[in-house]
Amino acid sequence: MGKGKIGKIRCLAQSCFVLDKIRLFHYNIPMSHVFDFNDAQAYDRWLKKDGNQRIVDLENRLLVEMLRPKFGDRLLDIGCGAGASLKPFLGRGIQLTGVDPSPYMLDIAKKNVGHRVDLHRASAEDLPFEDNSFDYAVFCLSLEFMEDPKKALEEACRVAKDGVFVG
């Protein structure tokens, strides 16, 4: 990671721990896992359950509070999955982009956020964007699924000029 880049990263560590527990004990999903059709459908069902939606809503409120994005800011959601962490930014005048390696998760994201978000199929370890293309990059419930989390963080720091949020 480049000199001084670590200061760009803010982490909501508790949520990473909670998801790791869910993943390890409930779904038994390994690290570096790209969701297939069945995984994507199971995650979408999980996300829609009331108790789980409250957890996601809480994290989204914290995300908005920590980032405090301004009108015109550019935000990249890395491992955007179903688009749940993009929803709180819709209608705020923020340019939203999401990337995910799973075409099945991107299909669900398209249903959830429509054409209001620029969605790309891409790996977090090799982002298809120029340096400093975004003000912020976020990993919401996604970094633990990356094949190489260190490389994913390096890429996020490369493309985000103001900060990276890990939740």
pLDDT of residue 133: 98
pLDDT of residue 11: 59
pLDDT one-digit tens code per residue, 12-21: 544 443 334 3
Q: How far apart (Å, rounded) are the C-alpha atoms in residues 85 and 87?
A: 6
pLDDT one-digit tens code per residue, 136-164: 999 988 888 888 899 999 999 999 999 89
* Coil, helix or strand at residue 139: strand
Q: How far apart (Å, rounded) are the C-alpha atoms in residues 146 and 150?
A: 9
The one-character DSSP state at 132 is T
Q: How far apart (Å, rounded) are the C-alpha atoms in residues 146 and 125?
A: 8
> Which residue segments constitute the domains of the chain, with CATH numbers given?
5-166 (3.40.50.150)
For the chain, how big is the Rg over CA atoms in Å?
Answer: 15
Burial readout 93-102 (b: 16 or more C-beta within 10 A, e: otherwise): ebebbbbbbb
Say whether pTM exceeds 0.75. Answer: yes
Q: How far apart (Å, rounded) are the C-alpha atoms in residues 31 and 146?
A: 7
Structure tokens at 36: 């297939």
